[in-house]
Structure 1
Amino acid sequence: MRAFTEQLSLRLITGTRRFLDLSARCEYRSDDPYTVRMRFGRDGDDEAQWVLSRDLLLAGLAAPAGHGDVHVEPGDHAHTLITLAAPGGTAVLQIATGVLARFLAATAELVPLGTENARIDWDGCIAELLSA
């Protein structure tokens, strides 16, 4: 298994012209090739983790994408918006598009787009499900 982890800066939009700076530890693993794990925190404290689709993040760089709890879409000319909905509320996060695109390009170096299925240990997944 190979992994790529990077600390990314983003903003939680809390209202008109109001925001809170956050960091997210983003992790991509070759043995879980469809997902990006984002741990959000402030001042180094992890507060929440979300598991997002790599394909959804890529699609949201160019056009609105997502159904359900996660939506990704272009914001202004330099930012991408990630909306996360949970029972406790909704969070709108703003991240520099170039930063997100660079992170996703690094994930494609680990696992090229379209080759994800070949990286999954299907026998191991089935064995784990049957033993639960």
Structure 2
Amino acid sequence: AVTGISTSVLTTPDIHCSSDHTMSAIQYKRPARWVPAKSGYFPRHPVSGGEGPDGEVFVGMAHHEGAYVLGMVVPDHGCCYIPYGGDAIPKSEYFVHGSHGVCYVPYGGKEHAHKHYEVLCVRNVPCRV
């Protein structure tokens, strides 16, 4: 369920790999933080979705026809556009994907936050079979 900012922690149960080996439970932070918003509002640290014709857009989500659909929040338009039936449907009530502003690196059964990091992006990665 989408309930806004979440500070709870997900915990995996003990995993039994074989009769003589058990992996310990590992705790993870929730992978996404969705902040309720409407009419152009968005949180201090929204996740960028790239550049649109009218400037930067942000990752959003809105309820439509019984489901939550990912879309893009356009601040100057005051809405989140979701794709549906070949059209861009504007929604005035939506959720914005809020960023923690860090990169989490799993190590030693914990997630360590790093404020300064780099991401390598490549268009195509050749795969050989």
**What TM-score, normalized by structure 1, do the two folds share?**
0.30
More strand by share: 2
**Structure whose residues are more often helix by fraction:** 1
Greater CA radius of gyration, 1 or 2? 2
What is the TM-score when the length of structure 2 is the normalising length? 0.31
